[in-house]
Each structure stands twice: as C-alpha cells, then as structure tokens.
Structure 1
Amino acid sequence: MRLMVYSHDAFGLGNLRRMLSICEYLLKDQTDLSILLVSGSPMLQAFRLPKGLDYIKLPCLNRGQSGTLFAKYLGTELEETLKWRSHLIHSAALHFKPDVLLVDKKPYGIQKELLSTLEHLETHQPKTQKVLLLRDILDSPVKTIGEWKRQGYYQAIQSWYDQVLVVGMAELFDVAQEYQFPLPIAKKVHYCGYIRKSSQGLNRMELRWFLRIKPSEKLVVVTPGGGEDGYPLVKAYLAGLKYLPNQVKVRSVILCGPEMPLSQQQDIQTQALQYSGVEVQAFTDNLIGYLDAADAVVSMGGYNTLTEILALDKRTVVVPRITPSQEQLIRAERFMHNGLIRAIHPNHLQPKSLMQAVIAQLEDRAAPSLELDFNGLPNIANQLSNLFLRPPDREPALA
C-alpha cells in the first residue's frame, strides 16, 4: 500500500510535526505500507524518520507574521517558486502512484499548487482515494468562510475528496457547523479526536535527574513552538522571574525553537545569565519528554504544542498568536472556557501577570469541565485503512 502525504509548510513546525506523527503511527499500524511525504519545511532533516517513510523536499515558502507569501531562502519570484513546487509534487504522484493521497489543511495546496496533481490522479489513477486533514480550528469563521468561497474550497472537497478528517472534537469546535459546510461535504467529515504523541527520548524521571531538579523544586518549560515569533513570550517570562516569591523554588527550561532568529536567541541567552536555574536550548527532538518532566508549561497556542501538553495532564499558561490568523486565540479561548488552561492575550502580556499565572497553575488542581479525546492517531489509522480497501465514492471532478 502506498500513501502520499502533502504537508502544508508556510509557517512554523506545527503542520510538519502533526503529519510526521500520523506517518509514524500508520507505519507501526500497517506493516505493508510505504509513505512518501512532500513538504517544504526546512526542518525535515532534523527529525528521525522511521523505515517505510521517505520525503521530497520542496523549495521553502514563508508567510511570516504579515501573511504575505514569499520564497524563504531562494532569490526566486513567488510565482516561479510555486510552479516549481507544483511540478515536483505532480512528478512525485506520477511515479509513486499512491493508493491514498492525504492533504494537510488546504484542498488545493498553497496557491493551488496541488491542482495539477489532483487532475492527474483523477484522469490516470482514479482509484486513488483523496483525504483532507483539518486541525480543530483554522481561523475565525468569518475569515475562513470568505477564503473558502473565494478559493473554491467547498467545491474542491465535494468534487475531489472522499473524506475530511478533523483532528479535534465537535464539542469544542464543530468545524462543519462553524465553517458552514454544505450537507454533501458535512457528510464526509469525521472527527477523530486530538493527537497524542509518545516520547522518543528520556522520560520524566530521567530528564528531571539529568536537569538536576530537586524534590523541592518545580520545573517550568517555556516553548514558543517553532519560535519565529516567540521572542516576546520568552522575554516576558525571563523578566517575570524577579516576581517569584522566595518560597517558590522554580527551575526553568526555555526551548527557543529552531526558527527563532539567532540574534534573539543570543539575547535570550544573555538575559538568562541574570537568573539561576535557567537553561536555554534552541531545539529538542524530545519535546514530549520535556513537557512530561515539567510541573507547568508556558507556551503559545499552536495545535500540536497545546494538545501535547494537555495529553500529559500538565498545567499551562498560553499566550496565543493573534496574527495573521485568529486560530490560536480561538483555541485558547475555547480551552480556557472549559477549564483546560489559563490564557493571556498577547496585548496584555506583562512579566508580572505572566509569572502570577504560572504560580497559580503550579498551585491549581481543579479538574477541567471537559475531558479531551486523545485517540486521534488510531482513529485516523482506522479511517485510512478502510480507504485502502474500498473504491472511491464521490462526484466527478470539475472539467
């Protein structure tokens, strides 16, 4: 069986980490499966790839905080870069001949770079099943509905795709209802629950021993995800350490993220020297292990980071990103409403209030009002396994 995976890659590491988690689980679940991952993420080579998974690296794009796409490293025009990426994706499908195509987030890919591949598969390999994977929240309903209408995404799903898998819960955010999916599309939607990842390195006790955490000390892990826009959060946390009461003994590990500019990482390293018990790292491939070792976490509101924290039943303070998308803000609000986290709007971020929230989380033991479903990986595996065994059932593609 052959699965081709398209991973959206214009900002941060969230999409890549989520798709790699799915690929790794599928390879354990299906012994006769080969997976080809197609992505432009610059961090692909930093992850351990299991046997059965290979990848094609596309030229990098970036949309930064402004939301405007551009070629990240090459001095090429956007249109030229997109044509190049589209050709590489098409060529991969032509030669790999996937039984299932799993597409992350955008039905046509970035700037419709998947369109020629979809057309090719429909014409030359019509038995290939096409699946769209959506995270729990994309953006505000108003913005998402407008974009999907302009881009023709509703029609794309109805014409091209066999299933829509949502890694989330309708109880927290009903994607089909919030984004006004027409009935034919809503019938294709399956809510799979959130994704739970396992640690691949040192476990909780081993890491706490490695970090020399004393029984009387609390460990706080600070992670701004990929880190490209995480500097204000880390800076506020470091400045807030002076507000710690003397009786609260805290050790801190700051994971800057591989995409945080080097100058900002160096500034954080310098600031951290003012405080004892602070360790700064650029990147770890065992984030789950560090989260598991923590007593509390300070993070942004990305899907992967937040669900990984909550899957470990950790107390967290979230400062969500609010541009260019409202995704993290909406997720933080929904999760806070259900007692799962504490959240601070970035416009109100102050060192003292951030540290007060951290202390409150270290002391809080109240149970949340909603229990999250973390069976996302086995549910996705079940849905895809069924697709390998049955022919497509959908309307013909548009001419």
Structure 2
Amino acid sequence: MRLIVYSHDAFGLGNIRRMLAICQHLLVTIPEVSILVLSGSPAIHNFKIPARLDYIKLPCLGRDRNGKLAAKYLTSDIQETVELRSNLIKTAILNFKPDLILVDKKPYGLLKELKPALDILKARSPQTKLVLLLRDILDSPQKTIQEWQQQGYYQAIQHYYDRVLVVGMSEVFNLVQEYQFPQIVAEKTRFCGYIKKTCLPYSTALIRTELGLTASEKLIVVTPGGGEDGYSLIKSYLSAISQIKDRHRYKTLIIFGSEMPSVEREKLSQIIEDRSSIITLDFTDRLMSYMQAANVIVSMAGYNTITEILSLGKKALVIPRCKPSHEQIIRASRMHKLGLLTAIDPNSIITDNLAEAINKRLNNSHQVSAILNFDGLLNIQQEIISLLSKEQIFLSTEQPFSLVTNEDRLDSYPFSIAI
C-alpha cells in the first residue's frame, strides 16, 4: 500500500512534525505501507526518517510575520517557485501511484499548487482516496470562512475529497460549526482527538543529571517551537526572571528553535552570556524528555507544543502568537478556560504577568488532569483503513501508543484570555 503525504510548510516546524508523527504511527501499525512525503520544510532533514518512508524536498516558500509569501532561498519569484513545486508534486503523484493522499490543511495546497495534480487524479485515477487533515483551530471564524469561500475550499472538498480528519475535539472547538461547513462537507468530517507523542527514551533523573541540576533545583524549560518568531517570547522570559527572587533554586533550559534568525539568536545569547543558571540549545529531538523533567514550561501556543505538554500532564505558561493568524490566541483562550494552562495576553504587560505566573508555578507542582481525548493517531489510522480495501491491509497487532479518553463533554468558551 502506498501513501503520499503533502505538507506545504511555509512557517515553523509544526506541520511537518505533526505529519511525520502520523507517518510513524502508520508505519508501525500497518507493516506493508510505504510513504512518500512531499514537504517544503527547510528542517525536514533534522528529523529521523524511519524505514519505508522517504521524502521529496520542495523548494522553500517563506511566510513573513505578516503572512506574505515569497521564495525563501531561490531568487525566482513566487509564481515561478509555485509552478516548480506544482510540477514536482504532479510528477511524484503520477509516478508513485499512491492508493491514498493525505493533504495537510489546504485542500488545493499552498497557492493552489496541488490543484493540477488533483485534476489529473480525478480523471486518471478516481480510485485514489483523498484525505484532508485539519488541526483543531485554523484561524478566527470570520477570517477562515472568508478565505475558504474566496479560495473555493468548500467546493474542493465536495469535489475531490473522501474524508476530512480533524486532530482535535468538537467540545473544545467545533470546527464544523465555527467555520460553517456545508452539510456535504460536514458529513465527510471526523473529529479524531488530539495527537499524543509518547516516546520518552530518557528518564527524568538522566535529564537532570545531564543539565547539572542539584536535588533541590527546579527546571524551567522555555520553547518557542520552531523559533522563527520566538525572539519576543524568550526576551520576555529573560526580563521576567530578573524580577524573581532566590534565583539559585532553579535553572533554565532555553531551546531557540532551528528556524530562529541568527541575528536574533545572537542578541539573546549576548543577554544570556555569563548566566550560569541558563542553558541553551538551538534544536533538540528530545523536547518531550526535557518537558517531562520540567517543573515549569514557558511556551507559545502552537498545536504540537500544547498537545505534547498536556499529554505529559504539565501545565504551561503560554504567550500565544497573535499574527498572522489568531489560531494560537483562540487555542490558548479555550485551554485556559478549561484550566489546562495559564495564558498570558500578548497585548498585556508580559514581563510582570509572566514573572508573577512563574513564581506561582515554582511553588505549585500539581499536574493537569487528563480530560482531553488523545486518540488522534489511532483514529486517523482507522479512518485510512476504512477508506482502503481490506485486501490491501494486514494490520499489525502492535499498538505502541497509550491513549487517554474522556467521556465528559466540555463547554464552549468565549474568545478571551485572562491571567
């Protein structure tokens, strides 16, 4: 069985990390599956690539902090770069002949680069299944509805796609209602639950020893995700801890992120210089292990980071990104109202609020109760299996992922953030 996974990746590492986690689960639980990933992520080579998976690296498109797209490295203009990417995608699909294509977020791909391949598939290979994967929250309802209407995404799903899989819970954010899905699109949509990454090869004791922590010292982990827009978060944290008394009782691990611009990383390094209580890394594939060992986590509100933190039972201090999308603000607000994290309004006086929140968390070590559904990987696998003929699949009996379910419905909460 052959799958193609399309991940456009114009900003950060979240999309490719999420798609690779799905691929890893499918590879473990469906032994004969072979997966080809089409990705524009400049950091895909940083990830461990498992057996039976390969990737085609598409030329990078970069999105600035205002959302404008351009070629990231090539000198060609945006249209030339999109045409090149589109031709590579079309050639890969025609030659690999997938049984199913899993498309991340955009039904037509970035700037409609996927549409020519979809048209050819519809004409030449109508048996190929098309699945759209959406994270729990895309953007504000007003902006998302407007974009989907302008881009013809509702019609694209009706015409091309067999299923829409949402890695989230309708009880947290009912994407079907919030984004006014037409009935035919709503009928194709399944809420799968959140994706839980559970690989923790390093013990907390080993991590603490590696970081040189004494028995009485606590650990604060600061992570801005991919780091492309993480400068403000880390700078705010450094200002906040200068207000905390008794600095000898904790150490900080700051992970800049592989996408942080070198100029910004250098500025932060100069501020941090000679502070023995602060350890820095540019990138790590052991983030879950570090977060497991943390007493306090300071982060943005990206999907992967928040779900990883909550799957560990940790409560984070979160400063959400507020542009170019409202996605993180909405997620932080909903999760804050559920008592799963402490959200700090990015428009408030961040330093004072963050310092107060860190002090509280250093003196309060309680963990978060598991009230979210983390069956995402299993449910995605089952949906894919249901779309393909049973003769193609021999399903592995191995289920290496622990799952948490919650039978209680969660209330809907208004769009707001408070300390």
Query: In which range does the TM-score fall when normalised by the shorter chain?
Result: over 0.9
Partner of 2:288: 288
Bigger mean CA offset, 339-348 vs 47-56: 339-348
The within-5 A match list for 1:339-354 is 339-354=339-354
CA distance in 2, matches of 1:367, 1:214: 22
The Cα of 1:268 is off from its aligned counterpart by 1.6
Partner of 1:212: 212
Residue type of the alignment partner of 1:137: I
Q: Which runs of 4+ in 1 moved over 4 A?
A: 365-370
Helix, strand or coil at the partner of 1:385: helix
CA distance in 2, matches of 1:238, 1:378: 40
Partner of 1:361: 361
Partner of 1:396: none
The within-5 A match list for 1:246-325 is 246=246, 249-325=249-325
Partner of 1:34: 34
CA distance in 2, matches of 1:263, 1:202: 32
CA distance in 1, matches of 2:241, 2:274: 10
TM-score by length of 1: 0.95
Bigger mean CA offset, 376-385 vs 50-59: 376-385
The Cα of 1:241 is off from its aligned counterpart by 1.7
The Cα of 1:201 is off from its aligned counterpart by 4.6
> Cα deviation per residue 1:19-53 (whole Å; 9 max; x = unaligned)?
00000111001000000000110001110000010
Contact kept, 8 Å, 2:314 with 2:367, in 1: the verdict is no
Partner of 1:182: 182
Aligned length: 391
The Cα of 1:121 is off from its aligned counterpart by 1.1
CA distance in 1, matches of 2:296, 2:387: 40
CA distance in 1, matches of 2:215, 2:365: 19
> Cα deviation per residue 1:63-106 (whole Å; 9 max; x = unaligned)?
11111110001001100100000000000000000000000000
Helix, strand or coil at the partner of 1:5: strand
The Cα of 1:367 is off from its aligned counterpart by 7.0
Quickly say closer, same or farther: Cα 1:370–1:330, change in 2 above 3 A: farther
Indicate yes or no: 2:220 matched with 1:223: no
Partner of 1:95: 95
Unaligned runs of 5+ in 1: 392-399
The Cα of 1:349 is off from its aligned counterpart by 4.3
Partner of 2:137: 137
Indicate yes or no: 2:131 matched with 1:151: no
Partner of 2:385: 385
The within-5 A match list for 1:156-171 is 156-171=156-171
Partner of 1:66: 66
Contact kept, 8 Å, 1:169 with 1:192, in 2: the verdict is yes
Partner of 2:243: 243
CA distance in 2, matches of 1:29, 1:231: 39
Helix, strand or coil at the partner of 1:123: helix
Partner of 1:75: 75
Contact kept, 8 Å, 1:299 with 1:305, in 2: the verdict is yes
Bigger mean CA offset, 337-346 vs 361-370: 361-370
CA distance in 1, matches of 2:351, 2:188: 46
TM-score by length of 2: 0.90
Contact kept, 8 Å, 1:5 with 1:103, in 2: the verdict is yes
CA distance in 2, matches of 1:37, 1:82: 17
Partner of 1:3: 3
Bigger mean CA offset, 368-377 vs 5-14: 368-377
Contact kept, 8 Å, 2:34 with 2:53, in 1: the verdict is yes
The Cα of 1:263 is off from its aligned counterpart by 1.6
Residue type of the alignment partner of 1:267: K
The Cα of 1:62 is off from its aligned counterpart by 1.0
Percent pairwise identity:
50
CA distance in 2, matches of 1:227, 1:373: 28
Quickly say closer, same or farther: Cα 1:369–1:25, change in 2 above 3 A: closer
Contact kept, 8 Å, 1:236 with 1:349, in 2: the verdict is no
Helix, strand or coil at the partner of 1:190: strand
Partner of 2:113: 113
Contact kept, 8 Å, 2:193 with 2:376, in 1: the verdict is yes
Contact kept, 8 Å, 1:316 with 1:358, in 2: the verdict is no
Contact kept, 8 Å, 2:320 with 2:345, in 1: the verdict is yes
Residue type of the alignment partner of 2:186: A
Bigger mean CA offset, 136-145 vs 112-121: 112-121
The Cα of 1:132 is off from its aligned counterpart by 0.2
Bigger mean CA offset, 285-294 vs 98-107: 285-294
Contact kept, 8 Å, 2:317 with 2:341, in 1: the verdict is yes
Residue type of the alignment partner of 1:158: Q
Contact kept, 8 Å, 1:199 with 1:286, in 2: the verdict is no
Quickly say closer, same or farther: Cα 1:349–1:229, change in 2 above 3 A: farther
The Cα of 1:142 is off from its aligned counterpart by 0.3
Contact kept, 8 Å, 2:313 with 2:370, in 1: the verdict is no
